[in-house]
Amino acid sequence: MLLEVQGHLNLNTVRCIALQNTAGLARGTMAQSTGAPVLVPVGDAVLGRLLDVVGQVHDLGPALPADTPLRSIHNPPPTLEQETSAIEVFETGVKVIDLLAPMAQGGKAAMFGGAGVGKTVLVMELIHAMVEKYRGISVFAGVGERLREGHEMLSDMRDSGVLARTVLVYGQMNEPPGARWRVAHSALTIAEYFRDQKRQNVLLLMDNVFRFVQAGSEVSTPAGPLPSRVGYQPTLGSEVAALQERIASVAGAAVTAIQAVYVPADDFTDPAVTTISSHMDSMIMLSRQLAAEGFYPAVDPLASTSALLDPLVVGVEHYRIAERARETLARFKELQDIITLLGVEELGASDRRVVKRARRLQRFLSQPFMVTEAFTGTPGRTVARTDTLAGVRAILDGETDAWAESSLYMVGTLDEARHKEQASPQATHAAEEPAK
């Protein structure tokens, strides 16, 4: 059993955090100091493996080689001299994210949402983007996840061919809070090794970083500090910062982090949620209403934001198209009550045109995913940012006003939607006239 010293109470007594199951631990059990911090295996040997917080293998495969390098899970963040200030957009292939909440190489993005809105599916899709497009390394941190989910993900990745460049690190839901608290640090340590020693781009995915905060609260309570707001630990801010500040770009390589954040009771003012969001470059808000209406990914285009959505970063054309899309969707939202009460026919010509294009834009921003292909039977699509911009511009300019809305639903590029439209019976929407 491995314990980590949390504090020295006196010369002969220390307070420890259990990183493994404590069954059988009794008063008087002999303890031995390792003389070192918690170490995890790193390097090429861990690629394609499922590990726990201390680096033990749980995928029924062979043990790691004896010469596998070890590294402490506690490392300082890169210095200001080591960090690079260059900003490069990380293309995910997910239309709504690349358009309205672009992510940065070496940046941090959070996906906020309650249970059942698609956070884990979106995380898995982004692993495909890193492996297939950037040929980088993906490290998945399952914070408080079920080990069954880890084995399912391992099997899915093996079938899809991305496992050879992925590391899975899990702290199980039933494990002591110390394991769930430190597993994020273990995964980040592996990611840092590939960035610093191998000079490879790394995508670090955490699901769910809210459970990291919960585990920290469980560890903090027996230690004695008085709880802070809503019962969270008083060190909440410093604990989150110690983890997030290690995620950065250095010359030649970057760790890009995407973190799923559970929002308790859909309350975005929760202290844990606000603390986590303060460190993010991009915030992707998942909407339960959009999920209920069948729009996947259920990303709220109006609530999602990104510091990169700036003409100096993404370019003037991208910025203008994104702003036009937001304005159209915002106006459509304002008109919802009127439409519900009076119907679309009572709107003016310009507002009817807004409604027509907003509804088509909503459907175009939906997208079938690679990771759900086996369940839905619909081939997944990865869309280049240039194709996304071209499609959105065409919709906003009215080029698809005469098309059936269904032609734009769950497609990749606009060309695919055009083929779908041409193949559909014209009678289904012949009566639909574009608003003047």
Q: Which residue has the tokens 């409604």?
A: 355
Q: Please, what is the Cα angle at 218 between 214 and 223, to 5 degrees?
A: 140
- Give how far the C-alpha of residue 427 lies from the chain's centroid of Cα atoms, to the nearest Å: 42
Task: Check if the beta carbon of residue 167 is closer than 8 Å to that of residue 157.
Answer: no
How many Å apart are CA 148 and CA 153, to the nearest integer? 9
Listed as own residue / partner, the contacts of 413-416 with beta carbons closer than 8 Å and 24 or more positions apart are 413/381, 413/383, 413/387, 414/364, 414/387, 414/390, 416/381
Q: Which of 206, 188, 328 is nearest to 248 (CA)?
A: 188
Task: Check if the beta carbon of residue 385 is closer than 8 Å to that of residue 98.
Answer: yes
Q: Which residues are catalytic?
A: 119, 145-146
How many Å apart are CA 141 and CA 417, to the nearest integer? 36
Q: Which of 107, 98, 110 is nearest to 309 (CA)?
A: 98
Q: Please, what is the Cα angle at 47 between 45 and 48, to 5 degrees?
A: 120
The token pair at 13 is 């007594």
Residue 362: count of CB within 10 angstroms of its CB: 21
110 Cβ neighbours under 8 A, 6+ residues apart: 209, 258, 259, 260, 261, 276, 277, 280, 282, 283, 284
395 Cβ neighbours under 8 A, 6+ residues apart: 357, 360, 361, 364, 408, 414
**Phi and psi for 335 in degrees, rounded to 5?**
-85, -5
3 state SS of 243 = helix
